[in-house]
Structure 1
Amino acid sequence: MKCPKCGSDQVNRNGHNYGKQNYICKQCGRQFLEVYKLRGYSEDAKKICLRMYANGMGFRAIERVTGISHNTVINWVKQSDMGFLDISQPPEKSDANSEESELDQSKKYLAQETSLNWMRPDLSVPKSVN
């Protein structure tokens, strides 16, 4: 094993830290672990969050879905190619067949149907025959 700072082979074991073996370099005094755990989020998680934002999802909604802090997503947007966008407003939806427009169409249809219900005969109650 070599010291990551000076590259020396003169390293000794130096106890444990959180269940991992610690090492210390005799030459430079640096204490280190053999293998470090990666910190942060994967590139896939970052791409998914950026794609969600590009499709019009808000930062806090992305946080609720993915569990990644909205501040982290804001920083990713600023650092990405999408940094030129105004992040105070989500991007406008240009797709005419988006889910929101479909919901609007169904709401209009239901409103029209309920307004015409007074013209239909009541078929649910059987009429008594004399």
Structure 2
Amino acid sequence: MVYTQHFCAKCASEQIRRNGHSGGRAKYQCKACGHQGYFQPAAVEKARQYAQVDQLLLERNSLRSIARATGVARNTIAKRVKKSGGFGPAPAAPSPEKGPTEAVGGLGAR
């Protein structure tokens, strides 16, 4: 069994107890100072959501469907697309037109 020790963000005490939940995440309370909070940082959850948004953009889903699936606002998704320069494959550069090849040194097309 893996045990993770939590510490209070204010006083660094180990006297932490669970104190309910909100939004599917457990809340904790420090018995030493009374501070309440979450111990899984929101940045971790946001990073997971944005990774999922990036994957869905690569799969060419619409912004609205991505917003419904991930819970991230459409404007935020649009800003990510704009900042990254788009998520589709880069268009191929047009190749220069090839003209007739000249035979050099007696070698060439017959």
The structure in which a higher percent of residues are helix is: 1
TM-score (norm 2): 0.42
- TM-score normalised to structure 1 length: 0.37
* Larger Cα-atom Rg: 1
